[in-house]
Amino acid sequence: MFILPLAAYLLSGTLGYLLLLRLRRRHTGAWEALGRPTWVNYYRSSTFSFLRFLWRREYRSLPDEQTIRFAAFVRGSFVASLVVYVVVGGLLAAGLLIVVPRAIEKIRAP
């Protein structure tokens, strides 16, 4: 059950990083506006500006259709990852709601 969220995390993180590399090489102004994120600081302050860039679809203003399509794909992968986290978290919570009361009943039973 934990493989799917891990795979979603790794895939969306890798795609996000590839988008950052593409912005750095082809759209320096946009990359600099995001705080010049690199692999080292990808998960720090620049994360929020990058997520805002994707969520608000600011990438649509770029003069490069290929990058726009890739950014939209990355945005979709982030949304899909979020759905995976919520579904798996919900399943785990539901499982705990079923298992824990049964375990308590067994402990209390004479």
- State residue 44's pLDDT score: 63
Tell me how far apart the alpha carbons of residues 4 and 22 are, in angstroms, rounded to a whole number: 27
For residue range 6-23, list pLDDT tens digits in order.
899 899 989 998 999 999
pTM: 0.80
DSSP character string of 46-71: HHHHHHHHHHTTGGGGSS-HHHHHHH
User: In this structure, are residues 70 and 26 in contact, taking their beta carbons and an 8 Å threshold?
Assistant: no
Low-confidence residues of the chain, pLDDT below 50?
Answer: none
